[in-house]
Each structure stands twice: as C-alpha cells, then as structure tokens.
C-alpha cells in the first residue's frame, strides 16, 4: 500500500468522523439526523394509543394552548395577516388537515408506533400520518408538504423530533387566532413518558411571522382498553356548508 492509500484509509477512521461532525454543527444548530453515538441510545417506550381529548387537557381555543404566558409574539407581517384573517378562509372547511403545531393539540386520539428506523404518529383527526425518520435520511424536493419532513432521535428518556419543509398555510399556526405559517416554519418536539402519561413540548420557529420561537407543553392519557382509531371521513361539500353560519367579516 503506498503513502496516498494509507492517508485515505486513515481519513476514513476517527479523523473523518470528526470532520463530518464539525461540518454538521457549523451552522450552530446540528440537524438531528446528523448526530450519532458510538453506543445505541436506550429507546423509551412511547408506543400506544393516546387520548388527547378533554380528559387530558383543556380543549383547544383562542386561549389554549396559547395563553397569555406563551402567546406567540408576532412581527408586523404576522400582525397584518392576523388582522385581515377571515374565518371563512380557513382550509378546514375544505377538509384540509391540521398541521403542526395545531394537530398535536387537537382533542382526538393519537397512535404512536415505534420501528427501528422510524416513528409513526397517526392522528385520528383528519386521518393524518406523520413519519419521523430515525435513519439519517435527507429530504428531497418531493418532501415539501403540509406536514413537512421530520427527522428524530432518542435522547435519554425522550424522542426529539425536528420538522421543516413546510408549505405556506393560512392557518398553519393557529386557526382560532388566525395565525399563518410560512415555508420557513420549523417545529421541534420532545416526547417523553411520566408514569402512564405521554407528554410533549412543541416549539415553533417561523421568522416570516414570529419575532421569537413560541412553545407549549401538553399531555395525553392512555386510551380506553381496546380502542381503535376511527376514520375521519370528512366530506368537503358538507364541511363547506358551515361557512354560511359564520358572521361575515367582509361584504
């Protein structure tokens, strides 16, 4: 083996790992998928069907989960969008699903399925399925969408999730308060168990509309024994009928 070959072999070892790690953290916020450990992390048991109804927490509204202590601080663009927001524009009346950070707090059941390379979050609300990739894969242009692209890792007793690659959504932050979200939205979630409860802290960054990140913490209780997620089965024609009963903001 010549000297050049020896240098290549050496760079494939610890030096290369250090170099790759340095590149990953160079932007100040290492992506979850880029972080690795020499010893596998202990996997916390988060699996099951979880009840997010009024049994577990206050129902979502203009003050929940966003109250006076954690209400998002909007910039001028966010305030302008909020001012002109009309409830009749809400995509939910056309059966468009909720998106983070709202879907996590919707008062319905959620199922967590843990596989070696991914975690599946199945929401009874809107029949939504979010995939949190644990295998270090990178997003492509085909991964831009309403639910974004999620990567994660286990750390201690928790699952950490980072999601980006969202599309603009007129109620992508909160439809009760008329707060939109942009393609720059980034959502960080931390899930952990406390006894029989599943808890999560959800943090949102969106410099297009927010002056600083906003977050809330919530919980789920175990679903009744034998419970199965029910089909949402939204009908756009029936859903749109509700708009006629809304107080008109513009004539």
Point out the least confidently predicted range of 3-12, 33-42, 141-150.
3-12
Question: Could you tell me if residue 241 is inside a domain?
Answer: yes
Q: How confident is the model at residue 12 (pLDDT cuts 50, 70, 90)?
A: very low
Question: Could you tell me if residue 43 is inside a domain?
Answer: no
Give the list of residues 6+ apart from residue 138 with CB closer than 8 angstroms, or none.
Answer: 33
Averaged pLDDT for residues 134-163: 97
Q: What's the pLDDT tens digit per position in 175-220? A: 899 999 999 999 999 999 999 999 999 999 999 999 999 999 999 9
Question: Could you tell me if residue 139 is inside a domain?
Answer: yes
C-alpha closest to that of 122 among 225, 114, 113: 113
What mean pLDDT, rounded, does the chain reach? 88
Question: Could you tell me if residue 109 is inside a domain?
Answer: yes
Give the list of residues 6+ apart from residue 36 with CB closer than 8 angstroms, or none.
Answer: 136
Question: Could you tell me if residue 19 is inside a domain?
Answer: no
Predicted confidence at residue 16, as pLDDT, reads 43
Backbone angles phi, psi at 156, to 5 degrees: 65, -125
Question: Could you tell me if residue 33 is inside a domain?
Answer: no
Averaged pLDDT for residues 138-153: 96
Predicted confidence at residue 249, as pLDDT, reads 86
Predicted confidence at residue 18, as pLDDT, reads 44
Question: Could you tell me if residue 8 is inside a domain?
Answer: no
Q: Which residues form the domain of 59?
A: 48-245
Q: How many domains does the chain have?
A: 1
Question: Could you tell me if residue 240 is inside a domain?
Answer: yes
Predicted confidence at residue 250, as pLDDT, reads 85
């Amino acid at each position: 083996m010549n000297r050049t070959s020896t240098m290549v072999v050496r760079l494939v070892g610890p030096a290369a790992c250090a170099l790759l790690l340095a590149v990953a953290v160079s932007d100040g916020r290492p992506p979850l998928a880029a972080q690795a450990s020499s010893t596998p992390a202990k996997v916390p048991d988060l699996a099951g069907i979880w009840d997010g109804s009024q049994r577990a927490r206050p129902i979502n509204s203009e003050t929940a989960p966003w109250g006076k202590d954690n209400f998002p601080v909007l910039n001028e663009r966010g305030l302008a969008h909020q001012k002109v927001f009309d409830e009749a524009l809400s995509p939910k009346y056309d059966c468009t699903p909720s998106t983070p950070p709202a879907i996590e707090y919707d008062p319905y059941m959620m199922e967590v399925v843990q596989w070696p390379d991914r975690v599946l979050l199945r929401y009874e609300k809107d029949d939504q399925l979010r995939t949190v990739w644990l295998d270090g894969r990178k997003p492509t242009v085909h991964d831009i969408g309403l639910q974004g692209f999620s990567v994660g890792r286990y750390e201690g007793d928790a699952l950490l999730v980072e999601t980006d690659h969202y599309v603009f959504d007129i109620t992508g932050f909160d439809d009760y308060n008329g707060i939109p979200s942009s393609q720059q939205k980034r959502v960080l979630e931390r899930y952990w168990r406390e006894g029989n409860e599943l808890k999560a802290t959800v943090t949102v960054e969106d410099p297009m509309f927010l002056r600083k990140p906003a977050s809330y913490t919530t919980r789920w209780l175990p679903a009744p024994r034998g419970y199965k997620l029910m089909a949402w089965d939204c009908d756009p024609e029936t859903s749109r009928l509700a708009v006629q009963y809304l107080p008109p903001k513009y004539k």
